[in-house]
A and B are shown apart, each in its own frame.
Chain A
Amino acid sequence: MPKSYLRFLSLAKAIQGLPSLPLLDPVEERLLNALAALWAEGGDVTVLQAMQCAPGASPSTVQRRLKSLQEKGLVTYADKPGDQRAKRIQPTPLANQYFAALARCMDEAVRCA
């Protein structure tokens, strides 16, 4: 393999590792983690459930943070079958990537420990 290409690959990897501003603020991060726990249980997660799973945050704060998470492309809303008034909160592929990246970091930390 030409050395220039190897150098390009190494350089591209280093550039991709450059630090970025935090994607989420602490409240959003806590809410997303709580939602992830509910998603992992396999059930539908409604807005009401989201409000209950974020202790310490008022319903209006949770509403605002859910909107913010939606704008950041991490959650999406879908109609709940059989109940047109209720909305299900679902993770987007970006949220799945976010959790996969966190899992990779934890695996690496465990390996290094």
Chain B
Amino acid sequence: MIRGHLLHGEHARMTQTTLMSAGRILAPVLATALAWLALYGINGIWTAALAWSDGVTWFFLPAALRPLAILLFGWRGAAGLFMGALLTMAAFTDAPWERAVAVAAISALAPLMAVTCVLRCLALKRHLRGLTALHLMGVVLASSALSVALHNLYYWSMALHDDPYSGLLPMLVGDLLGTFVVLYAARSALRLHARIRSGH
């Protein structure tokens, strides 16, 4: 009977550990996907006015999430980006499912590759100690450049664009503008928070 209790306790502990591990994986994925959906929704207010072509816009707020989610959550951030991009492609466009999957995969994998490469080049470890504003700008630039290049190559290979380079500039401008708007909004929020806490 005592053995039964012990086994029951062990089972409960294992279940709790499994649930906590699942939560640690799922929470960043869902948070990233929800943030993507929210920023995509906000961006939708002016998308029609600023669209260059299907899938390319002069101002794209969700682009900020690509480097930020990867820096914060690593591959779980990439999974969240994939999920968010897939959901928005399915909900807001009439793209076929294989294109939605491909674009979502580029959205997730390009920043993952770029951030990993830049962190390795800068000899920064995964805990990001020593990351400066200049490093962050390098990460943003690399992530946007790779994402834009891969997206345009894909659109060209699917005959959605006439050539692989004419969409580069509007998409890069859109990604960088969106990213810096979000970064500076975050900076203002952090400074306001610090000021409120210090009582000034």
* Segment touching A, from B1-9, B66-74, B80-88: B66-74
B136 with A7: CB separation less than 8 A:
no
A97 with B132: CB separation less than 8 A:
no
**List of A residues within 8 angstroms of B129 by Cβ:** 6, 10
Interface residues on A, range: 10 to 19
Measured between alpha carbons, how far is A17 from B129 in the docked complex, in Å? Answer: 14
**List of B residues within 8 angstroms of A13 by Cβ:** 131
Interface residue A84 (Cβ < 8 Å from any Cβ of B): no
A15 with B133: CB separation less than 8 A:
yes
A15 with B190: CB separation less than 8 A:
yes
Interface residue B197 (Cβ < 8 Å from any Cβ of A): no
**List of B residues within 8 angstroms of A17 by Cβ:** 132-133
- A3-B126 contact given A11-B71, A16-B187, A93-B200, CB 8 Å threshold: yes
Complex partner residue of B133 from A3, A4, A18, A97, CB under 8 angstroms: A18
**List of A residues within 8 angstroms of B135 by Cβ:** 14
Interface class of chain A by DSSP:
helix
Interface size, chain B (Cβ < 8 Å): 24
| Per-residue A-contact encoding for B118-157, CB less than 8 Å = 1, 0 else | 0000000011111111011100000000000000000000
Measured between alpha carbons, how far is A11 from B129 in the docked complex, in Å? Answer: 9
A4 with B28: CB separation less than 8 A:
yes
| Per-residue B-contact encoding for A19-30, CB less than 8 Å = 1, 0 else | 100000000000
Q: List 20 A-B contacts (CB under 8 A).
A: A4-B72, A7-B71, A7-B127, A10-B129, A10-B131, A13-B131, A14-B133, A14-B135, A15-B136, A15-B186, A15-B187, A15-B190, A16-B190, A16-B191, A16-B194, A17-B132, A18-B183, A19-B133, A93-B200, A94-B200
Q: Using a CB–CB distance below 8 Å, which chain A residues touch chain B?
A: 3-4, 6-8, 10-19, 93-94, 97
13 new A-B contacts at CB < 8 Å, known A4-B28, A10-B127, A11-B71? A3-B127, A7-B126, A10-B128, A11-B72, A11-B128, A14-B132, A14-B133, A15-B183, A15-B186, A18-B183, A18-B184, A18-B187, A93-B200
